Every structure is written in C-alpha cells, then in structure tokens.
Amino acid sequence: MSPVLIAALPFLGALLAGLAARAGRTAVMLAAGLCTAAALAGLIGHWPAIAQGTPVTAAFDWLPQVGLEAAFRIDGLALMFAGMILGIGILILIYARYYMGETEDFARFIVYLMLFQGAMTGIVLSDNLLLLLVSWELTSLTSFLLIGWWRDATEARQGARMALAVTAGGGLALMAGLLILGQIAGTYSISGLAAHAEAIQASPAFLPALILILLGAFTKSAQFPFHFWLPRAMAAPTPVSAYLHSATMVKAGLFLMARLWPVLAGGWEWTAIVATTGLLTMVIAAKIAFFQDDMKALLAYSTVSHLGLITFLLGLGTEPAALAAVVHILAHASFKAALFLTAGIVDHETGTRRLSRLGGLARVMPLTFGVAAVASLSMAGVPPLAGFLSKEMALEEAAHATVFGLPWLVALIATIGAAWSVGYSLRFLVHGFLGQPREDMAEPPHDPGAGLLISPMILAALTAVGGIVPMQVLAPLADVAASAVTGLPVHGHLALWHGLDSAALWMSLAAFGAGVAFVALWPQLSAMFEAAPKLDAKRMFDAVIGAITALARRIDTQMHDGNPVRSFALAVPAMVAVGLWAFLGTSHLPGDRAVLSPHPAAVIGWAVLMLATLTTAIVHRARLFALLLTAAVGLVLALAYAVLSAPDLALTQISVEVVATLLMLLALSLLPRVTPAETPWPARLRDAAIAAAAGIGIAALALSIMLRNPAFPPISIFHWAQSKPGAGGTNAVNTIIVDFRGYDTYGEITVLGIAALVIFAMATALLSNRRALARLRRHDTGGNSGDPHPQIVQVAVRFLLPLALVVALYIFLRGHNLPGGGFVAGLVVAIGLLLQYIASGFAWVEMRRRLSPHALIGAGILVATATGAVAWGFGRPFLTSTYGHVILPVIGDIELASAAAFDLGVFLCVLGAVVLAIAALARLGAATTDGEEEEG
C-alpha cells in the first residue's frame, strides 16, 4: 500500500465516521476502526522490505517553489511509530465505543480522534520538514478539540487552552528552527538532511536552529519547564488521555528528536541541552507523580517522567542509548495506555479516581486488577515484564554517562528517579486495589463488560510477552527503528538477565528497595509534601497570558479605537505624504505623449460630472438629492467610457448604475431622510483639506501617467494578438475576462456570491433580532404615494421581463466577439426582475419566483468550476479553454468556445447575487409595512 494512502486512510476514517453518525455508535466505531485497520495492514505489508533496511517512499510535488513536497517515507522508525499510532488507535476506538456516555455526540468525538490520528500518522510518515510541520500543527489543533471535549467544564476548557498555547507556541519555534535548518542544508527533505550533517553542525546558525527545534520538541513532549500542560490536559475523556499521552501526541517530540538525531546529535550542544533536560524532567516529575491523589494525574506526571528518561537517552547521542530509547518507547506505550484505560474503568465503575477514596478493588474487580497489576509492575520495572527490560537498558546507559567529571552523578540521579517511579507505580496498585474494600461506595463496583476490558488486556499481554520473549517480540522492531535513528545497522541483544556484574541490576535493586520504602512511609512523606511550598504553574501561566493580553489590548486601543472616521482621517494624509515624499525624492522629465483634443460633447459631459460631484459634496445632507446627483455622475461616467473606446465598460457601468441606485433608494427608505448638521465648521474645514489633498494628489498622479508613454510594452499586446487564435473571440476585453485572466474572474464571481450571501445573512439576522424588528416596524418609510403598485405600471413592466431576457441573451451570445458578455447579461436580467419587485411588490414576486437566487449563485460557481475542471480531464491546467465550430441547419456556422460556458457561470452568479442583495433589502422594507397591504 502506498505510504500516501496509509497517511490518508485516517482522514478517510474521519469522513466515514462522520457520515455514519446516524447509523449508530457501533457503525461509527467500525467505519473508523476499519480504516485504521486497513492502514495498519498496509503498513505491516511493508515489513519485509523494511526489515531488509529498504525504506518505502512516495512523493509528489505540492509547492515546489518553496521546497514543499508531499513526500512520505516509511523506514524502521516511522514503521514503529505508525504501528503504535494505528495499533493503539484501534484499541482506543473499541474502548471509546463503550466508555463514552449515551448523551455524548460520539460521531463527532470519533471524527476528532481520527483527524488527530491522521495528523500523527502524517508526522511520522513525512519525509519533508514542511509537511512534518503542517502535520505537527494539525496535532496541536485536533488535540485542543479533544482535550476540551467536555466544553461545559471549566478545567477542560482551560486545560485545552493551555495545551494549545504551549504546544502551538512551541510549534512556532519549531517552524523557525526547521526553516533555518532547511536553509542551512539547502533541502527540506528529511532523508536528504543526513548527508549534510557535518555542514549543518559547523554552521553558525546551527545553535539557534537547534534550540528552536528543541523548544518545539520539549513543549510537545512536556519536558521541564514546559511539563505543566500535560497534567491539566487530563481533563479530557480517558480514551483521549490514553491515546494522546501514551503513544501519540507527547511522543511526537521524541519522534522529532529521534528523526533528526543523525543531523543534530553528536555535538556537545545536543548532549548538554537534551540529556540534562531529560534527566531533570525524569526525576522532578517522578517525585511529583508519587504525591498525586488523582489516578490520572499520577499517570500524567509519570508520563512526563518517562518522556524525560527517553529524552535523556536520546540526548546521550550514543547508539546503545538510542536503542534503549526505542525499546523504552515501545514498552512505555504498552503499559501506559493500559494504565490509563484501567484508570478510566475505575472512574467508570466507582465514580472517582482519587486514590485516597479507593482501595480494595482487587476483590471486586479481579480482571481489572490483573491488568493494573501487570501494567503497573511493568512501569515499576519488575521482571519479567517489558518495563524491566527497557529500564535496565536505560540505567545501564546512565551508569556509564559522566558529567562534570563525576562518573556517579548521572547514575545517582537516574536511580533516584527510578526509585520514585517504583514508588508511584506501587502506590497506584496498592492504594487503588489492595487493602479492605471501601464500604462507602454508592453501588458495589464490579468488572466492566468485555468492551472496556479487551483493550487494556491486550496491552497488558503485550507488555508481558514483550518482556518474556523480547528477542522474538521487541527486538526485530527495535532493531530497525534504532537503525533508522542512528543510520547504522543495530542488532541489540535484549535479555532479562545480564549477570551480576551489570551496574543496572544493582541500581534497579536499590531503586526498588527505596520505592517500597516510599510506599510504606506514605503517610509521613505525604504530610511533608503537603507542608512544603509549591509553585503553582497554572497561576504563573495565567499571569503571563494575562499580561500579554493586557499589553495587546493596550496597543490595540491606542492604534485603533473603533472609530473608522478617525482611522481614515489619519490614513489618507499619510498616503498623500508618502506619495509626495516619493515624488520629491527623484527628478522628473516632462510628459512627451501627445494630448487628445477634447470633443465638445466631452467637455459638456465633463462639466456636468464636475458640477454634480461638487454639488453632492456640498448638499450631501439632503440625502435623496445627493443620491440622484451620484447616479447622474455614474451615468456620465458610462458615457465617458463609451467615448474613450471602452464599450464593455460603458455597458457594465450603466447597468450597475441602475442597480446600485435602486439599492440605495431602497436603503434610503429605511434611513433618515437628512443628515443632521452636527459637525462644527473647523472639523469640516479639516476634512475638506484632507479631501483636497487626496484629490489633488491622485489627479496629479493620473495626469502624469497619461502624459507619458509606458516604459515597458504593455502585456496586453499578447492578449490582443492571441485573442482570436488563442481564445477564439474578437472582443479582447471579454477574452481576457473569461480566458486569459479566467482565474481572477473565477475568484471575483465567488466573492460577489459570498457578498450576496453575507447580505442575506445580515438581513436574516436583523429580522430575527426582536429589538431591531420592533424598530423596523415603528419605522415610517415616509411619503405615502397613494397606490404603491398602479396596475398600468404592473402590466407594462411585466412585458419588460421577456424583453430583458431576449436582450440579455443577445448580449451574452455576442459577448465573446463584440461588447457584451456574462456580466452585462446578468445585470440586464437582474434589472428586468427588479422592475417586477418595484411594480408589483416584494410579496407578489416572491410568491411567483421559482428559482432561488441562492441556487443561481451556487449554479454559477459550479458551472464555472466545472468548465475549469474539464481541462483536467485532458491533462491541462485548470481553466484551459478551447473552441471549435459547429454548423447548425438554418443558422449556419456557429463558433463555440468553452469559455462561453464559463461566461454562463459568470452570468448566473451575477444575476443571483444582484437579485439576492436587493431582495434582502426589500425584505427589510416589507417588514416596515403591513404584510397584507403588500399582498393586494
């Protein structure tokens, strides 16, 4: 199976799970589970090749200009991680099916979970730094949705927000780090980086890149001092905690460090930062974990501690340490997932996860106890379980590490960490399950059904089998993964017994003794811990976030106080000043282009336009008059376009002017008739000065452009030359719109459609707002002109509609060769329809309207998209056009361009948008009057 398909299957699962929502929870679980299983099967199918050391790759260009290639690669490390993600994913899906309450929106939950799974799979399979980054961010987002699943709960929201802030903040650092890394290496291919390892480590930018990348990894893997988000993320439903914090999310940081190990490890910087952080995290978190009362919190801090241990091992930078890290990743995933699921079962059955309120569950829940015992003893490092094996390997590495010239320091710290680890593992077991059963439970707890138990049982079995026969179960996978990490062939010897001269054995024994003592001394230790002062990470985090928010708000209110007039009054002079500064900065030659002599009719038109414009500015408070003057300006403008050889523009301008004026007339009936005189004259003078500066500036700019010839030949020479042979039309403006710049037009009609939908939504919102509706009802639309819909007008206008349709058809058909086209045709039909609204009233038209404008907009965009997509079928880029001749009887030779279909999309969309926009206003207008009057 192609790696691309493996990476895509979880997303398909998300889609199918969403679609199966109505078919019940089992169907949802099966849809998601089967996709996951298929991906896992495909992954396992690659095992023979990968066991031979041959990675499986697949790639296609995505954005080659920025080095973004959708490259996927499965090697040993990717196989191991993807196997954990998908394998444990299946178990979690089964568990979640029985865990989530009946009232939960289970399908949505599974969709989120599968999206997360897809993002994680993307991280581990990607062979491109940028693709990895995209997946990385996707895990932050989807985990936010999962952690905050119970959005009614404050701590769930806060936990989710904190997780997002920390991991997404780290993601930003990671982005910077990976970009630097890619720049140094000259490639964003992960497998290609290793060849540049020496050059990368020698670069002066190496240390910043390393620190930034590690920030990303440490925040994700909850390393000290970024560990605080992980325990708060326990507000998530237990399946999420088990999945995110055993096998996936927090392991992403480890994966990143392992993946980039050949490139980044080896130098002192790596070891100093990574090993130290890991060791500190391990011991600090292990101690905190021991004192937790909540089972999930205990497991959360223990996860932080184990992640620290693995980070430490990766930080050592040696091959045996890398092998130990890989083995411990596997072991930890198995026992930790089992423990989380067990904690969930306890919570489910007893209603609490607090160890101080639990005890004696072993007698009433024997099966659950069995799972908990195996998994927590594995976590404690008791033979013959997998946890013992990997901890021995880790301690062995710690015993041989030397810092500050002290050969015993690392070993000591590691042993202390291991002792706490034994302590909390035993505490989970002893305080939760042993002792006398509690009498104060509302209902006596008992083992849950098979649905909840099967997943943790399988995991517990794995951790046991992995420890008993490691060479058969763990070693093959660990070997290929470690080989992929180090780039060298690794053949580890995994065994439970290494002889009496093994340092790890004695460290283990010491840790075990101390751990047992800790549990025995629990009451005293607990009292000491409670008395000791502690830092509250949440309060510190909240303080930092609060300070940042306050700063942002202060800057924001200073820059932008919500008054657009003020912003505009500042922006316009600034723009004029910049233009003036640029103008004065260089020398200028006088314009040499011959000036057109003005036509006498043009001078008259100009005079009308100038007079109307100036009058509008002066008398704008009389709103209706100002509106009429504005319309007059628009009409003169249309004439100007006609005179200046732009017939298409003239047609468009004149039809838009009609529609726009209609729209504003409607609006004016809903607004006050006059603008009150409330601005004092100094302010008016200032505004006039600003306006004059802008006007003079733009006029000077326009004039200096028009008085000079272009410095470069215009690109439209190409459009002109290719209009007929390339696009099959003689109207160059139309061929540019529907063909050469079809993509622009495609975007524009989409924007127009969206604008109309926004208008519709705003009108709907206004009508559903009770206070606004009350104001609307009270509004007096002003002068009553008697009969609002005289019959003679109604009849006359009804004849206009077919006429408008014919004219539009004519304009549309000739558009490719002569002035016209979809835009104008759409406007003409819209005007024909709007006249019906005016003549016969809103309600009359709405009752007889068959086509909804929404459908027209949708159809327009679909037609345009389909026209563009047809080109794909011929292996050409989107919107490639073609044309041909069709000979019809009677009519004769007709030239058909595929662009005409695109123009049809433009037509439909423009028509729909205009009608929808005006109808929305008309609906508001209809709400002011009594509905019955409209009916007549």
Partner 1 sequence: MEYLVASAIGLMTATGVYLILRRRTFPVVLGLTFLSHAVNLFIFSSGRLKMAAPPIVGRVAEPSDPLPQALVLTAIVISFGMTAVIVLMAVGARFGTGDDRVAPEREAP
Considering only residues 103 to 142 of the shown chain, the ones binding partner 1 according to CB under 8 A are none
- Could you say which of 176, 211, 516, 776 contacts partner 1 (CB under 8 A)? 776
**Interaction with partner 1 in 884-903: which residues (CB under 8 A)?**
none
Does 5 participate in binding partner 1 (rule CB under 8 A)?
no
Does 668 participate in binding partner 1 (rule CB under 8 A)?
yes
Q: In whole angstroms, how close is the CB of 151 to partner 1 at the nearest point?
A: 29
Does 806 participate in binding partner 1 (rule CB under 8 A)?
no
- Could you say which of 403, 670, 809, 862 contacts partner 1 (CB under 8 A)? 670
Judged by beta carbon, residue 363 or residue 599, the one nearer partner 1 is 599
What's the CA gap between 744 and 741, in Å, rounded? 5
CB 171 within 8 A of CB 137: yes
What's the CA gap between 362 and 368, in Å, rounded? 8
CB 231 within 8 A of CB 241: no
Does 752 participate in binding partner 1 (rule CB under 8 A)?
yes
Does 687 participate in binding partner 1 (rule CB under 8 A)?
yes
Judged by beta carbon, residue 489 or residue 747, the one nearer partner 1 is 747
Judged by beta carbon, residue 444 or residue 564, the one nearer partner 1 is 564
Nearest to 522 by CA among 349, 337, 359: 359
**Interaction with partner 1 in 323-362: which residues (CB under 8 A)?**
none
3-state DSSP call for residue 226? coil
DSSP class of 729: -
Q: In whole angstroms, how close is the CB of 569 to partner 1 at the nearest point?
A: 6
Judged by beta carbon, residue 545 or residue 688, the one nearer partner 1 is 688
**Interaction with partner 1 in 598-617: which residues (CB under 8 A)?**
598-599, 602-603, 606, 609-610, 613-614, 616-617
**Interaction with partner 1 in 499-518: which residues (CB under 8 A)?**
none
Q: Which two tokens stand for residue 895?
A: 């030239």
Report CA-CA distances (Å) from 787 to 509, 549, 780, 794, 845. Answer: 101, 59, 17, 12, 17
Q: Which stretch binds partner 1 (CB under 8 A): 165-173, 213-221, 338-346, 913-921?
A: 913-921
Looking at the DSSP assignment, which residues form a beta bridge with residue 72? Answer: 58, 126
Q: In whole angstroms, how close is the CB of 863 to partner 1 at the nearest point?
A: 17
DSSP class of 63: E
Burial class of residue 573 (count of CB atoms within 10 Å of its CB; 0-12, 13-18, 19+):
middle
Q: Which stretch binds partner 1 (CB under 8 A): 1-9, 422-430, 446-454, 775-783?
A: 775-783
Report CA-CA distances (Å) from 920 to 663, 844, 916. Answer: 10, 15, 6
Q: In whole angstroms, how close is the CB of 624 to partner 1 at the nearest point?
A: 10
What's the CA gap between 105 and 225, in Å, rounded? 36
Q: In whole angstroms, how close is the CB of 819 to partner 1 at the nearest point?
A: 7
- Could you say which of 51, 637, 896, 901 contacts partner 1 (CB under 8 A)? 637
- Residue 675 CB coordination number (10 Å): 13
The distance of Cα 66 from the centroid of its chain, to the nearest Å, equals 20
Q: In whole angstroms, how close is the CB of 867 to partner 1 at the nearest point?
A: 17
Q: In whole angstroms, how close is the CB of 921 to partner 1 at the nearest point?
A: 7
- 3-state SS of 387-414 is HHHHHHHHHHHHHCCCECCECCHHHHHH
Q: In whole angstroms, how close is the CB of 706 to partner 1 at the nearest point?
A: 4
- Could you say which of 23, 528, 755, 796 contacts partner 1 (CB under 8 A)? 755
Does 751 participate in binding partner 1 (rule CB under 8 A)?
yes
CB 731 within 8 A of CB 609: no
Indicate the pairing of strand 56-63 with strand 68-74.
antiparallel
Judged by beta carbon, residue 408 or residue 568, the one nearer partner 1 is 568
Rg over alpha carbons for the chain, rounded to the nearest Å, is 36
Judged by beta carbon, residue 476 or residue 931, the one nearer partner 1 is 931
- Could you say which of 205, 406, 580, 698 contacts partner 1 (CB under 8 A)? 698
Q: How many residues comprise the chain?
A: 936
The distance of Cα 812 from the centroid of its chain, to the nearest Å, equals 41
Burial class of residue 152 (count of CB atoms within 10 Å of its CB; 0-12, 13-18, 19+):
exposed
Does 779 participate in binding partner 1 (rule CB under 8 A)?
yes
- Taking residues 411 to 450 in sequence order and writing x for each that binds partner 1 by CB under 8 A, - otherwise, the string is ----------------------------------------
- Could you say which of 577, 765, 803, 806 contacts partner 1 (CB under 8 A)? 765
What's the CA gap between 117 and 36, in Å, rounded? 9
- Could you say which of 108, 157, 357, 623 contacts partner 1 (CB under 8 A)? 623
What's the CA gap between 152 and 603, in Å, rounded? 70
Q: In whole angstroms, how close is the CB of 629 to partner 1 at the nearest point?
A: 9
- Could you say which of 450, 548, 699, 795 contacts partner 1 (CB under 8 A)? 699
Q: In whole angstroms, how close is the CB of 626 to partner 1 at the nearest point?
A: 6
Judged by beta carbon, residue 205 or residue 703, the one nearer partner 1 is 703
Looking at the DSSP assignment, which residues form a beta bridge with residue 70? Answer: 60
- Taking residues 554 to 593 in sequence order and writing x for each that binds partner 1 by CB under 8 A, - otherwise, the string is --------xxxxx-xx--x--------------------x
- Angle formed at CA 156 by CA 152 and CA 159, multiple of 5 degrees: 150
Amino acid at 502: S
Does 805 participate in binding partner 1 (rule CB under 8 A)?
no
Does 782 participate in binding partner 1 (rule CB under 8 A)?
no
Q: In whole angstroms, how close is the CB of 200 to partner 1 at the nearest point?
A: 47
- Residue 815 CB coordination number (10 Å): 29
Q: In whole angstroms, how close is the CB of 188 to partner 1 at the nearest point?
A: 36
Residue with structure tokens 């979880």?
10
Judged by beta carbon, residue 228 or residue 812, the one nearer partner 1 is 812
What's the CA gap between 636 and 657, in Å, rounded? 10
Judged by beta carbon, residue 503 or residue 670, the one nearer partner 1 is 670
**Interaction with partner 1 in 641-660: which residues (CB under 8 A)?**
641, 643-649, 652-653, 656, 659-660
- Total of residues contacting partner 1 (CB under 8 A): 125
Greatest Cα-to-Cα distance within the chain, rounded to the nearest angstrom = 112
Q: In whole angstroms, how close is the CB of 757 to partner 1 at the nearest point?
A: 10
End-to-end Cα spacing for the chain: 68
Judged by beta carbon, residue 193 or residue 897, the one nearer partner 1 is 897
**Interaction with partner 1 in 709-748: which residues (CB under 8 A)?**
709-710, 714-716, 719-720, 723-724, 730-734, 736-737, 741, 744-745, 748
- Taking residues 807 to 846 in sequence order and writing x for each that binds partner 1 by CB under 8 A, - otherwise, the string is ----------xxx---x---x-------------------
What's the CA gap between 163 and 173, in Å, rounded? 15
Does 769 participate in binding partner 1 (rule CB under 8 A)?
yes
**Interaction with partner 1 in 914-933: which residues (CB under 8 A)?**
914, 917-918, 920-921, 924
Interhelix angle 853-873/742-768, rounded to 10 degrees, is 150
Residues with Cβ within 8 Å of residue 804, at least 6 apart in sequence? 828, 829, 831, 832, 833
Q: In whole angstroms, how close is the CB of 646 to partner 1 at the nearest point?
A: 5
Q: Which two tokens stand for residue 470?
A: 């490691």
Q: Which two tokens stand for residue 442?
A: 């509302």
Q: Which two tokens stand for residue 666?
A: 């409607």
Judged by beta carbon, residue 520 or residue 603, the one nearer partner 1 is 603
- Could you say which of 146, 361, 371, 664 contacts partner 1 (CB under 8 A)? 664
Judged by beta carbon, residue 15 or residue 818, the one nearer partner 1 is 818
Residue with structure tokens 């994700």?
220
